[in-house]
Homo-oligomer: A and B are copies of this chain.
Amino acid sequence: MTERLFTADQAATLDDILRWRRDVRHFRTDPVPAPLIDRLRQAMGRAPSVGNARPWRVIRVRDCALRAAVRAEFCRCNDLAAAAYDDRARADYLRLKLAGLDEAPEHLAVFTHTDPAEGRHLGRRTMPETLRQSTAMAIHTLWLAARAENLGVGMVSILDPARMVSLFSVPEGWEFSAYLCLGWPAFHDDTPLLHRAGWQENREPEWDER
């Protein structure tokens, strides 16, 4: 067992990566080299997980018909979401670009195994939710690792989880967590697109005290 201390410069680097990470919806179409994909896969494997269970399951989607089916599902869910707003909010909503599905060279479908043998149930009896939290943290790990490599990730959640499970015919017990677009971003930006577009300002998070 060795020791490891980080410097103020290294902490500042992490802060910069956090600050410049964005939900990317504008991609260039050039491919991501295989060794880079492999580094991202390894980084994701370093995410925290309850009981060291690593319940996330990642499918790299290359098949053209499967991608088209996901695209169709996104359109269907997006139309339903738009219909739920009143006229003015709907117009705002429809102006937002919410996914980079057409341009992003890499698509990853992420699922959570809700009853893995790994971890031996440690830490998840009272909170089975911890498995889904582990997957969310793994996605975030991939997001940050991609940003540090100057790649962009966009998380698409305007999808019906039950339909995604059937579309991918995943094993029993897998739940849909997210669909990720990955590639070189068309631009880098330190301000969330939804803030810039006037949809939702940044709210300063306060901590309560008891």
Q: Within the complex, what minimum Cβ distance (angstroms) separates A41 from chain B?
A: 6
Could you tell me the distance between the alpha carbons of A117 and B209 in the complex, rounded to whole angstroms? 22
Count copies of this chain in the complex: 2
B residues in contact with A148, CB < 8 Å: 6, 10-11, 14-15
Q: Within the complex, what minimum Cβ distance (angstroms) separates A38 from chain B?
A: 9
B residues in contact with A168, CB < 8 Å: 210
B residues in contact with A17, CB < 8 Å: 6, 10, 14
Could you tell me the distance between the alpha carbons of A93 and B120 in the complex, rounded to whole angstroms? 10
Tell whether, in the assembled complex, residue B137 and residue A123 are in contact, meaning their CB atoms are under 8 Å apart: no
Set B18, B133, B178: member contacting A132, Cβ < 8 A = B133
Within 8 A of B (CB), among A1-58: 1-6, 10-11, 13-21, 23, 41, 43-48, 50-54, 56-58
Chain A 137-161, CB-CB to B under 8 Å as 1, else 0, gives 1011101110111100001011111
Q: How many residues of A contact B (CB 8 A)?
A: 105
Tell whether, in the assembled complex, residue A122 and residue B15 are in contact, meaning their CB atoms are under 8 Å apart: no
A residues lining the B interface (CB < 8 Å)? 1-6, 10-11, 13-21, 23, 41, 43-48, 50-54, 56-63, 66, 77, 80-81, 84, 89, 93, 96, 98, 108-109, 118-127, 129-130, 132-137, 139-141, 143-145, 147-150, 155, 157-161, 168, 177-178, 187-192, 194-195, 199-205, 207-210
A/B interface sample: 8 pairs, CB < 8 A: A18-B144, A58-B205, A98-B122, A98-B123, A122-B200, A123-B157, A125-B158, A136-B140
